[in-house]
């Protein structure tokens, strides 16, 4: 009964989460999908892409396992390009395990590896590499801005832009190759001059999109905000207040150094990562010095700094040159409940402070509004999805621009120019996975879990 080829290449996985739920979805992909469907759900097979209600059994005449919706997607018009089947079963552990065991017992399928469904979709040309990354980001998206950006990448926004550039490069390369192959023909003498305009223009177009890369990465990873200030001014209290808001997503990130507390927030749909350098304030001096050094280092790596003081410390606030350099600052005076009516001058560099009290709630809404506006600004215009979402895209695009610029420095040497244009095209191709794919694949697919 068991067909060895089908066993090796037909995969099954639970595509929904492991938690108890009303419905769980099992997916099968590969040549064994149809025969497995026949054995569990009986024949005839459902009409392609139409749900059918069937009793699932462990083999013909076997025990009933569930009453479920089943779907049949014959290749190549399926997510992976292969024959696929889906079982929409009841989401309890005994049902899920029972159906998976029954599928494996047919000998026609094996459990999928992490990311294997998406890998097959990639191999079948259903998704390119940038789209695969968009899919991973979409599954991981925690905020509305992340979702918008990921969906746009999954739908091919980045791929189309990059392929447009590549098509232009191929056109330019053809002209240079013509000059190499037919030097005596009608190729213009001043080839380098005639191509310099289009090449420079292409480099400018890529550079322009690169300028937005920092924004796109911030949307993907979150705007990094460091809360800095002397001990006891209320930094932890602010972090807790922000983290405790209803809209906040709070996540403990394992592996962060114990002296830094990290909290993930959604500020009106924009992702932010808040760092508090708590925990070192009551320790002995050398340790505290180290704490201050680390706090400053955090501040330097942040996109935004909240610098806090209390009413008594405000006059000497932020005087250290190390604090003045670096990312933008929102100055905050906390504990204004302790100094009612006191007037505070604007900071000479950071401007007017937000005046708050975490004890009685004064000034917290205006602070939140300002913080949200700053975060939105750092994520670029609301609603506009970023293009280059990963360091890998940026590195490849920068390499392409460098090669394009270098191609213009070779004067009358079309061979050297052609080589640089080729290098530029290869660099761009790496973004969508058109070249040098193998080394990248493991990296990209590692992000997926089983069943995706
Ligand atoms: P951190 O060392 O900067 O993280 O400061 P904490 O958040 O741990 O706060 C230090 C102390 O100040 C705690 O006892 C807080 O309860 C208190 N505190 C925080 N915010 C306020 C405030 O707005 N008013 C007053 N009166 N006390 C506050």
Sign of CA pseudo-dihedral 447, 449, 450, 452: negative
Q: Are 260 and 276 in contact (CB under 8 A)?
A: yes
CA 421 to chain centre: 30
Indicate if the pLDDT at residue 282 is higher than 90.
Answer: no
Nearest atom, ligand 1, residue 338 CA: 26
Residue 295 — very low, low, confident or very high, per pLDDT cuts 50/70/90?
confident
Q: What CA–CA distance (Å, rounded) separates 58 from 114?
A: 26
Q: How many helices (H) and strands (E) does the chain have?
A: 16, 12
In sequence order, the β-bridge partners of residue 306 are 227, 330
Mean pLDDT of 139-163: 90
pLDDT in tens, 10-60: 999 999 988 889 999 999 999 999 999 999 999 999 999 999 999 999 977
Indicate if the pLDDT at residue 1 is higher than 50.
Answer: no
Residue 448: count other Cβ atoms within 10 Å of its Cβ.
Answer: 19
Ligand 1 pocket residue status of 155, Cβ below 6 Å:
no
Q: Are 407 and 199 in contact (CB under 8 A)?
A: yes
Q: What CA–CA distance (Å, rounded) separates 129 from 119?
A: 10
Find which of 170-179, 196-205, 305-314, 434-443 is predicted with most confidence, using mean pLDDT.
Answer: 196-205
* 0.75 exceeded by pTM: no
Beta strand 354-355 with 329-333: parallel, antiparallel or unpaired? parallel
Across the chain, mean pLDDT equals: 83
Q: Where are the alpha helices (DSSP H) in 245-284?
A: none
Which of 313, 332, 358, 360 best tests ligand 1's pocket when mutated (most atoms within 8 Å of CB)?
Answer: 358
Mean pLDDT of 57-64: 86
Output the pLDDT for position 280: 36
Indicate if the pLDDT at residue 4 is higher than 60.
Answer: no
**DSSP letters for 76-116:** TSSSSSS-EEEEEEEESHHHHHHHHHHHHHTTS-EEPPBTH
Q: Which residues contact 252 (CB under 8 A, 6 or more apart)?
A: 262
Ligand 1 pocket residue status of 361, Cβ below 6 Å:
no
Output the pLDDT for position 347: 87
pLDDT in tens, 207-244: 988 888 888 888 888 899 998 887 788 888 898 888 87
Mean pLDDT of 140-159: 89
Indicate if the pLDDT at residue 188 is higher than 70.
Answer: no
Ligand 1 pocket residue status of 312, Cβ below 6 Å:
no
Encode 321-343: b = buried (16+ Cβ within 10 Å), e = exposed: eebeeeeebbbbbbbbeebeeee
Q: What CA–CA distance (Å, rounded) separates 304 from 77?
A: 47
Nearest atom, ligand 1, residue 240 CA: 7
Distance 100 CA to ligand 1 centre (A): 54
Indicate if the pLDDT at residue 288 is higher than 90.
Answer: no
Contacts 24+ apart (CB under 8 A), 21-24: 21/91, 22/90, 22/91, 23/88, 23/89, 23/90, 23/91, 24/88, 24/89, 24/90, 24/91, 24/95, 24/96
Output the pLDDT for position 248: 37
Q: What CA–CA distance (Å, rounded) separates 143 from 169?
A: 36
pLDDT in tens, 414-436: 888 889 998 999 999 989 987 64
Output the pLDDT for position 385: 59
CA distances from 190 to 186, 202, 278, 410 (A): 11, 19, 65, 12
The DSSP element (H or E) to which 158 belongs, if any, is helix 157-181
Ligand 1 pocket residue status of 334, Cβ below 6 Å:
yes
Q: Which residues contact 323 (CB under 8 A, 6 or more apart)?
A: 228, 296, 299, 307
Q: Are 160 and 402 in contact (CB under 8 A)?
A: no
Nearest atom, ligand 1, residue 308 CA: 3
């Amino acid at each position: 009964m068991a067909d060895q080829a089908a066993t090796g290449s037909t995969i099954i996985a639970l595509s929904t989460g492991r938690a108890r739920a009303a419905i769980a979805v099992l997916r099968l992909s590969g040549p064994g999908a149809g025969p497995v469907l026949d054995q569990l759900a009986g024949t005839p097979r459902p009409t392609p892409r139409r749900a059918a209600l069937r009793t699932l059994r462990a083999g013909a005449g076997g025990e009933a396992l569930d009453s479920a919706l089943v779907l049949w997607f014959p290749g190549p018009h399926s997510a992976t390009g292969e024959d696929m089947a889906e079982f929409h079963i009841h989401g309890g552990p005994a049902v899920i395990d029972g159906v998976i065991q029954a599928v494996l017992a047919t000998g026609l399928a094996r459990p999928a590896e992490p990311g294997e469904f998406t890998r097959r979709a990639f191999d079948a040309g259903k998704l390119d590499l940038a789209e695969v990354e968009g899919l991973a980001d979409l599954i991981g998206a925690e905020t509305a801005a992340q979702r918008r950006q990921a969906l746009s990448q999954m739908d091919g926004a980045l791929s189309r832009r990059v392929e447009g550039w590549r098509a232009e490069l191929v056109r330019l390369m053809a002209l240079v190759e013509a000059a190499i192959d037919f030097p005596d023909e009608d190729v213009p003498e001043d080839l380098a001059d005639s191509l310099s305009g289009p090449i420079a223009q292409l480099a400018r177009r890529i550079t322009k999109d690169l300028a937005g890369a920092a924004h796109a990465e911030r949307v993907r990873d979150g705007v990094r905000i460091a809360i800095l200030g002397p001990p006891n001014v209320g930094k932890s209290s602010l972090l807790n207040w922000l983290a405790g808001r209803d809209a906040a997503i709070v996540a403990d990130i394992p592996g962060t150094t114990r002296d830094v507390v990290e909290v993930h927030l959604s500020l009106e749909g924009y992702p932010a990562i808040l760092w508090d350098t708590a925990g070192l304030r009551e320790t002995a001096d050398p340790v505290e010095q180290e704490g201050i050094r680390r706090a400053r280092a955090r501040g330097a790596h942040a996109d935004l700094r909240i610098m806090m003081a209390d009413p008594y410390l405000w006059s000497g606030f932020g005087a250290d040159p190390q604090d003045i350099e670096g990312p933008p600052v929102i100055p905050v005076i906390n504990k204004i409940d302790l100094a009612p009516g006191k007037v505070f001058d604007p900071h000479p560099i950071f401007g007017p402070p937000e005046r708050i009290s975490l004890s009685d709630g004064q000034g917290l809404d205006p602070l939140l509004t300002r913080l949200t506006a700053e975060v939105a600004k750092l994520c670029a215009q609301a609603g506009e999805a970023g293009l280059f979402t990963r360091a890998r895209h940026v590195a490849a695009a920068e390499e392409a621009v460098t090669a394009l610029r270098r191609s213009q420095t070779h004067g009358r040497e079309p061979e050297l120019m052609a080589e640089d244009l080729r290098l530029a095209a290869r660099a761009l191709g790496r973004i969508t996975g058109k070249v040098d794919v193998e080394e990248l694949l493991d990296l990209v697919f590692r992000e997926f879990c089983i069943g995706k």
